[in-house]
Amino acid sequence: MQADSSRLTSRCYTYCNGCPLIRPVAGVGADRSSGMDGFSTLDGLALLVFGLAWGIYHFIIEREGSLGLNHLMNGYRLDWMMEMAEREQRMVDSGIMGSLQNGAAFFASTSLLAIGGTVSLLRATDDVQRVFSDLPIGLVASRSLWELKVVGLLLIFGYAFFKFAWSYRLFNFAAILVGATPGRHTSDPKRRKAFALRAAQMNVVAGKHFTRGQRAFFFALAYLGWFLGPYLFFITTLCVLLVMWRRQYASDARTAASLDA
């Protein structure tokens, strides 16, 4: 009985191997302990370029003396707080602070949705790889490489969530400082100015963390190119970098922010 079962199994195996309709899908059902199969030198180089692009852009934009749009708007945040300190009725300031908080809360919620969607990719690795195997581009990564890419995307969205959540908290702190700023009829104008400067600086820090979260979203778009191969990863990184640079230094928004009175 055992010999008959072995012969039947051997015949089925031979038949399936010879059948043109049955073909293995690369990466699907692969052994998890096979290491980082498919991670080439080109993948490592593309990932290094991605990290350098993000890091260098971050350094250039946030350094003191930058002429980008963010730096110009930080100056307007200071002007806003100085004007706020001279107003008795601060309903306008409260409305602006509320809109800033709502924006940070919206993006923090969006980050959580993105994290949930990315986690679902890890649970559906086999299904997604089957879909990729049917695409005409024919780029199917090994299971371990695919999971590495998804984990990287998960880290980016996690970073964005922490930045947006902290930004929301900092805007709350800024609102408290706005409320604590003495009125224009106070007997100590220096104290009023000091509170306004604190509120302005807190507002600047909150905006800085919010911008870092948005930057992570933009670079997440570039990171998606890696799922289709390292060459496209190079291209998407370059495209996102150029778009973000243009918005900071050559956009209509920057022109409007730098108009002379």
The pLDDT value given to residue 37: 63
The whole model's pTM is what? Answer: 0.79
Residue 104, in any domain of the structure: yes
Q: What are the pLDDT digits (tens) for 48-82?
A: 999 999 999 999 998 866 788 999 999 999 999 99
Count of CB atoms situated within 10 Å of the CB of 200: 24
Burial class of residue 100 in the structure, from the number of CB atoms within 10 Å of its CB (0-12 exposed, 13-18 middle, 19+ buried): buried
* Count of the separate structural domains present in the chain: 1
Of 36 and 218, the one with more pLDDT: 218
pLDDT band at residue 40 under the 50/70/90 scheme: confident
Residue 188, in any domain of the structure: yes
Residue 211, in any domain of the structure: yes
**Mean pLDDT in residue range 198-220:** 96
Whether pLDDT at 155 is above 50:
yes
Residue 56, in any domain of the structure: no
Dihedral of alpha carbons 204, 73, 102, 181, sign:
positive
Residue 242, in any domain of the structure: yes
Residue 201, in any domain of the structure: yes
What is the per-residue DSSP string for 31-53? -GGG-STT--HHHHHHHHHHHHH
The pLDDT value given to residue 131: 67
Q: Please, where are the H alpha helices in the chain?
A: 2-18, 41-62, 69-85, 91-123, 125-133, 143-180, 189-223, 230-249, 252-257
Residue 32, in any domain of the structure: no
Rounded distance between C-alpha atoms, residue 197 and residue 217, angstroms:
30
111 neighbors 154 (Cβ within 8 angstroms): no
Residue 150, in any domain of the structure: yes
Q: What residue numbers bound the domain in which 234 lies?
A: 74-255
The pLDDT value given to residue 136: 62
